[in-house]
Structure 1
Amino acid sequence: MQTVDVELAGREYPVWIGPGLIGDSARWRARIRGRHVLVVSNTTVAPLYLGALEQGLEGLAWSTHLIDDGETHKTFANVGKVLEALAAMGATRDACVIALGGGVVGDLAGFSAACWMRGIDFIQVPTTLLSMVDSSVGGKTGVNLPAGKNLVGAFHQPRAVVADIDVLRTLPQREFLAGVAEIVKGAAIGDEPFFAWLEANADALAAREPGVLVEAIARKCAYKAGVVARDETEQGERALLNLGHTFGHALETAGGYSELLHGEGVAIGMVLAARLSAQLGMAPAADTERLLALLRRLGLPTQPSRAHPASRILELMRLDKKNTAGTMRLILWRGVGRAEIVPGVADDAILGVLGG
């Protein structure tokens, strides 16, 4: 097992990474301060792992709330249902919400915890690789609107993250690779040696070799923890973690959140951002090819669907939270490991890489 500590001003919490952690209740139960616990999960994950989690809740006043599986269920309506479940159990200010699931469950449960009595504790128990290396760490919570992804939310840090790699055995390969895309993203943003390590270990990672998997998760989480510690509420450096997201979120939204997994959108978005960087003379085209080669070797998509007009994707990109005062603000790069925030990118340049 490896532990990554997320250290913030006056607060810190552990990210535990390794096998058998859901069953290691003595470890995570110590992070629960009160007696009320609501476990939020979905209809796919609960039959697999809820039983193991419940064993660690003996003696507490706990309940379970399930949502349907999928990005389309990350809605205000489901937040309302979680809040009603907290009310029904008489949850007090020292209650805790446990998010058992992927990014959708974690975002929704965390946002619900942020809303109940203006903020109660929650613990992340991510069950997808994507949520282990990205959404469970850093305190971003929220829900989607028809107009765009994650437009409503709050920064609300968990009390702990329990990343049990045993749960990844039941994860479909497509979902697993979506998480690998987020690992690649962290290296592409600011850690060229890690990117080279991924190139050397790509086959073992895709095959879910445990030692390589724990190392990759820990290195990605450690990188993100450092960024979050320096910029918790995304006033500057933390925006770099969104390399590929402006393109990717727009592609996800255009597809009604059902065509692409988040990590697939990020993979395509990173390639588009790299191509745009090369087109603007910021980065060598060879680094785009290096990124393409790694993503393809890992079995990830690298091209956007032509089903959605470039003009529509651009329109959706304008709603991105990084934009300011009507100005398009993208995360681009100078090459592998050297991402930066670039304001005022021209529409024509964006349409050029989108094929419009």
Structure 2
Amino acid sequence: MKGSTKRWLADFSDNQRLLLAWPYRRDVWRDNALPAREVVAELARLVSHYTPVTLLVHPDYQGSVPKKLYDCCSVSVERYDDIWLRDTLPLWFSTQRQTSGIVFQFDGWGGVQAAVECDRALASELSLKLERSLSVCDLVTEGGTFTHNGQGIWLVGLSSIIQRNPSLSKEVIKKKLNDCFSGESLLFFEGALTADETQGHMDNMALFLNENTLIYAVTKDENHPDYTTCKRLAEFIELLPDSIQKVAVPLPKPLRSTRIERESLEQLQTSLNRTEELPLLCSYINVLQTDVLVVVPEFGLPEDAIALSIIREVLPDKTVLSVPARELVLGGGGLHCISHNLPELSDN
């Protein structure tokens, strides 16, 4: 980083707008995506009080967007396969007054989703519309496997990248990533939470909230299925410099869905078969954030209030709110997964 004009932009960097997408898939979102739409609509309204919001809407579903949403956010008609913008849109960096991005190859999270063509094209189409240059890394991975502090320190979920690139050795993967992020310090964690459909995304385990603060998942329950992974994660986090405040946040045991929550899903070959047996990952690490706001998920658990209190305490200068997020984990992700930050240049 030192002496370089390239600056990687973190979620909490200033002068950004927030991107969300309108749910529509009936094989991922129950009841014709109506409950998920309510969550996204409320989230868009909430965030718009603090940060500009743009809602991506598939052209086939423009008519389903409530008119009142047009009052609080801009709408951009785009083709996409699902709403997980964190994983399909670019990681952004600035060079003097130019903002550019880097994007990876996308395979639907190693086979979780078969419909991928629109998601593969979304980053390039959006960058073209915004007149921003885009480079492509030939590794298969997603944005949620990275978190960084905007000052050169990156945590990388190595396990999911290994799963996506079976023909490559760990050493080759690490070299490719170090080449992509030349000059940055990349720290690789190998491990995944048991209910994580992505098989190891970092944004479920650890996330930078600012350049000097990191939250990470922890459990002291030896009967927790993720006890060993969390113990290894804590040891990994301790490798970070002392200047980084390392904040432990409780990780609940995975939940189960109900028959009612699953019975209206259309079971198609285009997506993972979401049954009652599929565990639900409830991670408070998976937050939505901007430069002034953090939104923490609620799961209807006693840990909800604890997690909210912890994050509020370490971010006294930010607004920290919480919203129900069970609908999102029913679809396989969280608040960080569905959101993406788009830098806005001051001369635009």
User: Fold match, TM over 0.5?
Assistant: no
Higher relative contact order (CA 8 A, sep 6+): 2
Q: Greater helix share, 1 or 2?
A: 1
Q: When the two structures are superposed, what TM-score results if normalisation uses the length of structure 1? A: 0.28
